Amino acid sequence: MRQVRRDGARGQALIETAVVIAVILSILMGVYSVGQFASDQNTAGTATRAGARVASELGNGGYNGVTATGCQTTAKDPCAVDRQIVQNVCQVAATMPFVTSIAEVDIYRVSIPPASGVIDLVDRYTSCAAGANAVSAAYTLDLRIQTHPNEAYIGVSLKYNYRSPVPLFPLATTATVSTVTLMSPHFS
C-alpha cells in the first residue's frame, strides 16, 4: 500500500510541475510579445521625432512665391519638402522588426494653441517608396510660417501595422505615433 501512495504522490507532483511550467511559459511569451510591441512603439516615436526635426528645419523649403517642384503643379507644392521628411521617418521605421507595413505618414498643421489637438491640414503619404506622391497635400508651403514670433506648428504622424512575434499570442494591431514641434524661426 505504501508503494502505491508514493507513486501517486510522484504522479501528482509531475502534473503540478507541468501545469506550473505551462503557466510560466505563457506569461513569459506574453511579456515578450508586449515588450516587442513597446519596443516598436518607442522606435516609431523616434521615427516621428526625426521627421518632425527635419520638418522644423526645412520649414517651407525657402518658399518665396516661386513655383516649387513636386507632386502637385501649384506654386505652393509641399511635396519636395515632404519627401525628405517621409524618407527620414521611413528610414528609422524600417528598423522595427515586427512591423508588417507602414500604413501612412502624415505631415500636418495643428491649430493654435496646439493643446487643442485639432488637425486641420494634412499631407498624407501611404508609401515609403522614393518617388511616392501625397494622397492629399493640403499643408502647402505658404502655410508653413517661419517668421519669428509667429512660427507655425508642424506635426508628423506614423501609422503602422504590427504583428506579434509569438504565435501563441496573435496580437495584430494598427498603431499610430505622433510628434508636434514648432517650425525653426527665420528672423527678418
Look up the pTM and report it.
0.83
Q: Which candidate, 92, 117, 120, places its Cα nearest to that of 105?
A: 92
Among 12-16, 46-50, 61-65, 106-110, the range scoring the smallest mean pLDDT is 61-65
pLDDT digits (tens, 9 = 90+) for 38-66: 999 999 999 999 999 999 999 888 777 66
Beta strands in 42-142 (DSSP E): 99-110, 119-125, 136-137
Give the whole-angstrom CA distance, residue 42 versus residue 137: 28
DSSP of 39-62:
HHHHHHHHHHHHHHHHHHHHTTTT
